[in-house]
Amino acid sequence: YEVLRLFIATEEITNGDLREIVNKAFGGGSFVDGVVNVRRLSSSNDNDNDNEKEKANRNENVFVSELFGGPTFCFKDIGMRLVVNILSHFSSSTPTTLLVATTGDTGPAAVRAVSDAQNPNLSILVHYPKGQISD
């Protein structure tokens, strides 16, 4: 919420509405354990040699976000759910169709995000090019 607030004017989306958008995108069982997991990249233990301990110390403040914990197990769930919920906010009274063209996992992430938004004014159309779908 706080990072988004820096880029979205309160005249466009109120504080309460923005918090609701973020909570709807990332809370309520959308992700494993209700959060996007972040893990420390490296840490040392007593069995490490000096080289391994030094390397771990350099990476002490390096963290990695696990982006596969969303409803479609795709990293695109992170951005797609937020974008779709913002779009849903602005299409509360106007019918809006999200058009997606993809060769892979963008489609399922977008369809699931639109479905989970539960906005009757928001629909989606996904195009898959014949013979060009990734495995």
Single pTM value for the model: 0.72
Q: What is the pLDDT of residue 46?
A: 59
Whether residue 67 contacts residue 105, with contact meaning beta carbons closer than 8 Å, is answered with no
H/E run at residue 45:
none
What does the pLDDT profile of the chain (135 residues) look like in tens digits? 888 999 999 999 999 999 999 988 887 666 665 566 777 776 655 566 767 667 666 667 777 877 777 788 888 888 898 999 999 999 988 999 999 998 887 888 999 999 999 999 999 999 988 887 776
Whether residue 64 contacts residue 74, with contact meaning beta carbons closer than 8 Å, is answered with no
What tokens were used for 5?
């607030």
Residue among 32, 35, 24 nearest 115 (CA): 24
DSSP conformation class of 128: -
Q: Is the dihedral of CA 48, 54, 60, 64 positive or negative?
A: negative
What tokens were used for 33?
């354990």
- Alpha-carbon separation of residue 125 from 24, 45, 89, 98 (angstroms): 22, 51, 19, 6
Whether residue 105 contacts residue 72, with contact meaning beta carbons closer than 8 Å, is answered with yes
